[in-house]
Structure 1
């Protein structure tokens, strides 16, 4: 096979595959373009670190690329790529005490990215903002390459693939058991608000979430909604279909979603909820009009508890005993030290904050234990949608914190971790109206209390009754926020610092 032609499928996992020579030529020709283009994408995780090279995991033609045209009636090519970007390892930051992190290939310096590349002989002007460039050699020499998610013709093809389950090389397209048939011809539009992923809405019926930075194993954003659907929970849209890179160099995988090993979850299709507003937007409107939000907050607490109850029924739970509690507290304390070294404004509050973590270790010395289970992992107002009636909440985006390794995001956690995330979100919402305003502090406090009361309506226990663990998780979250805002949004730093002052004083 010559390097001027592109094979239907080439893989670079486990052993040499047919078309390996073309694959090498493809990657060499794309490397200069990707080195410039990838760091400019919002979902690229390695910003601030140079790219030293790439390795190809797989390349699959979803539409033939060698003779892609450019005219109105011409068919563009569509190339699916999984590419590892090699970079210097980031500075070490401690995990949560329940696991350790690594990169996609077992090291922290090789993140794997999913790319969908459109191919045309000449790029139409409307796709110019999505351009990757034109290779000067290799099998796609002289072709115009661009991010295919901005081309409705190519995103329409993705939906057709998901409507017809099956395999294409290392890719596997799966329809959820019992899911309603997806109609054809739904008009696609890419959303522009994503940070760590990309989404395409089809008509007003479905949304396809594509994971850009991917890790081996089952992504919780597929795993947990599937479990909730099995448990009959209506608070989360059930997956309709998904696609993945199947385990093994030949694309072999058992029935059902890839669970472990080299398989990667690539995208999930779910019902779209038009007309819903996310909790952040709704809270901001309430604040702007100085309107009461406690009824909505209480409903959101009930929805969270229903999701937690179903996850506990459908997936394993475990006890969190003395040694695990001590490791949890030690991880929180270590993250505090890392953040304090980076953000001097945090240092005066360290003694009070340490007390919050020491109280968790104290639970271990008292012989106490807690239950852990699967949780949302990154719960905040923006991860909750409310219908037009204002009283029915739906939770979305179960991926967890994208910066954490996938195996950490799949670990069982105390449910108060999710509760703490939502409590911090109420504070953030209120602070948008001013960190020093008394009425905004009262608004946040009232809605934090309403949320916990709503949780207790369903769970039978109030999260505030587990005050030591809840305070520790809220403190840990506030410390994380201080570090994040100092690095990315310095103007927002007073928001988590106001929480830090409150939490530190509570421990004195």
Structure 2
């Protein structure tokens, strides 16, 4: 195209590798609607973006910042980029990163562990009575040894340790993203009551959309999903009342750049550690919106919801589990979710300690967690109704659980 220029950038390691190799061995890793990924010599991975715009690409921007401006090393190092330069701006076509040697992603690892947990419960000769009163909360979580004795027998200590590590890495990521106050695009900025009111307006719109779509699809849902949907539809006022807490008082906390689409599929598991990937942000948002600073608690809520997905998917999508066993497993699975989420939060809060992006007042932290968890579940409900109706039971069960347990949850 006239007046434009393709710019290929690579660091010294990439250039050295090209100079020393006569042949480069490419291998297609994956191709989606969002990007195509190709591995070279099992050392470098190029991500070719399939959705382009004349805006700053948040994936490249954050990866470059973490690689060049911070000591955070639990994300693939940025090695190069491809940009199409025009007179009125640049368009990012792709980025090259190091390959992380991983066993699986976090979703696969945690789903396998949840399936192991279910098998242990089913194998019990006499199923113990479930202690329905949950101990600890997300912001005052228990240690592994403080769980009820029967859960210590069922929930592998290794799982608790892995989740603890993930909480630490998440905290370290947020500390890195908030570490440079001299760069306007990354410098933390304060919450305000005006901003909190605008959040509530958006939450009201989300409730309207979610409930309208749920009503419209109600008669098409299978009986189990329809029963759960009717229960959720009866919770509308409780949900709106909970959302009102977001602007009941000013919250002293900073907004920072965050991952924006943080879940178990966005972390690679090496067998010992986790690497955080894909900083493209929420695919449901416009490119420009993905770079907006937000509460770090949103990332936490998104990951905790991902634990919840693991919990319910293991029950309702596993053909190996008999229908009559689901009701027996459900109380145990919900306890697994509660305590695993607590391990994650405890490690995170211990890692970030007095960081400005975590409210100093515990009540404020509780408010943000409650609101963002429920917001995420409603967004998931809309997505599943539109794209994966067979998964709709997951956000429905999650919403019911949160509304019924909103006091104990945090």
Question: What corresponds to 2:350 in structure 1?
Answer: 457
Deviation, structure 1 residue 371: 0.7
Cα drift, residue 179 of structure 1: 6.3
Query: What secondary structure is seen at the aligned counterpart in 1 of 2:278?
Result: coil
Within 1, Cα distance between the matches of 2:368 and 2:197?
12
Confirm or deny that 1:332 pairs with 2:203: yes
What whole-Å deviation, never above 9, does each CA across 1:446-474 have from its counterpart, x for those lacking one?
11001001101211168894010111111
- Could you list the runs of 5+ residues in structure 1 that have no partner in the other structure? 1-9, 12-16, 18-168, 249-260
Question: For residue 106 of structure 2, what is the aligned residue in structure 1?
Answer: 279
Match of 1:433 in 2: 314
Q: 372, 378, 396: which is aligned to 2:261? A: 378
Alignment partner of 1:387 out of 235, 257, 270: 270
Structure with the higher strand share, 1 or 2: 1
Unaligned runs of 5+ in 2: 118-154, 181-185, 216-228, 317-326
Q: 1:188 to 1:449 in 2, by over 3 A?
A: same
- The answer to whether 1:212 aligns with 2:50 is yes
Moved more, 495-504 or 405-414: 495-504
Asked if structure 2 preserves the Cα contact closer than 8 Å seen for 1:180 and 1:240, the reply is no
Q: Counterparts of 1:123-272 in structure 2 under 5 Å?
A: 169-176=4-11, 181-183=16-18, 184=21, 185-192=23-30, 194-229=32-67, 230-248=69-87, 262-272=89-99
Aligned residue number for residue 310 of structure 1: 176
Per the alignment, in what secondary structure is the counterpart of residue 174 of structure 1?
Answer: strand
Native 8 Å contact 2:102 2:268 kept in 1 = no
Distance in 2 (alpha carbons) for counterparts of 1:470 and 1:431: 21
Query: In structure 2, what is the Cα distance between the partners aligned to 1:333 and 1:177?
Result: 51
1:361 equivalenced with 2:247 (yes/no): yes
Moved more, 338-347 or 473-482: 338-347
Instruction: Determine helix, strand or coil for the equivalent of 2:78.
Output: coil
Q: Give me the whole-angstrom Cα distance separating, in 1, the residues matched to 2:17 and 2:258.
A: 29
Say if 1:182 and 1:217 are closer, same or farther in 2 by CA, change over 3 A.
Answer: farther
2:302 pairs with 1:403: no
In 2, Cα distance between equivalents of 1:265 and 1:310: 24
C-alpha distance in 2, partners of 1:179/1:316? 30
1:493 aligns with 2:374: no
Structure showing greater Rg: 1
Distance 1:457 1:180 in 2: 41
C-alpha distance in 1, partners of 2:385/2:233? 14
The offset of 1:506, in angstroms, is 4.2
Q: Looking at secondary structure, tell me which structure has more helix per residue.
A: 2
Q: Please tell me whether the aligned partners of residues 299 and 454 of structure 1 are also in contact (alpha carbons under 8 angstroms).
A: yes
Give the alignment's Cα RMSD to 1 decimal. Answer: 2.1
- Work out whether residues 26 and 41 of structure 2, in 8 Å CA contact, stay in contact via their aligned partners in 1: yes
**Contact 2:370–2:406 (CA under 8 A) maintained in structure 1:** no
Number of aligned residue pairs: 326
Say which structure, 1 or 2, has more relative contact order (CA 8 Å, 6+ apart): 2
| Secondary structure class of the residue paired with 1:420 | helix
Contact 1:352 1:506 in 2 (8 A): no
Over 3 Å counting, the alpha-carbon distance change for 1:275 and 1:504 in structure 2 is: closer
How far residue 193 of structure 1 moved from its aligned partner, in angstroms, is 5.6
1:139-192 residue CA offsets vs partner (Å, 9 max, x unmatched): xxxxxxxxxxxxxxxxxxxxxxxxxxxxxx432111247767333433112223
Could you tell me how far apart the structure 1 residues matched to 2:333 and 2:24 are?
A: 43
